[in-house]
């Protein structure tokens, strides 16, 4: 496999990771909204933790994608 093909594959994986992280963040936001509607404080806290974790995953995925993009240049 050529270096360019490897870099393209790594970039595709980074993009897929970013998309999955964004989807997880959206689901976590929905969980927060649902928890707030139920006024269950434990459920709200769990949902907020999910949001924080998802946001971290999005940031990591974006950093990886940016790094891969820089490697292609």
Sketch the domain layout of the chain as residue ranges.
22-72
Our CA angle for 43, 47, 53, nearest 5°, is 145
Rounded to whole angstroms, the Cα distance separating 28 from 56 reads 12
Q: What is the mean pLDDT of the chain?
A: 79
For the chain, strand residue ranges (E) read: none
Encode the chain (73 residues) as per-residue pLDDT tens digits: 577 777 778 778 878 888 888 888 888 888 878 877 877 788 878 888 888 888 888 888 888 877 777 766 6
Give the position of tokens 């990591």.
60
């Amino acid at each position: 496999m050529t270096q360019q093909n490897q870099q393209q594959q790594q970039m595709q994986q980074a993009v897929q990771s970013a998309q999955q992280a964004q989807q997880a963040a959206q689901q976590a936001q929905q969980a927060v909204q649902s928890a707030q509607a139920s006024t269950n404080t434990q459920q709200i806290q769990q949902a907020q933790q999910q949001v924080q974790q998802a946001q971290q995953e999005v940031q990591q995925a974006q950093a990886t994608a940016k790094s891969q993009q820089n490697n292609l240049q």
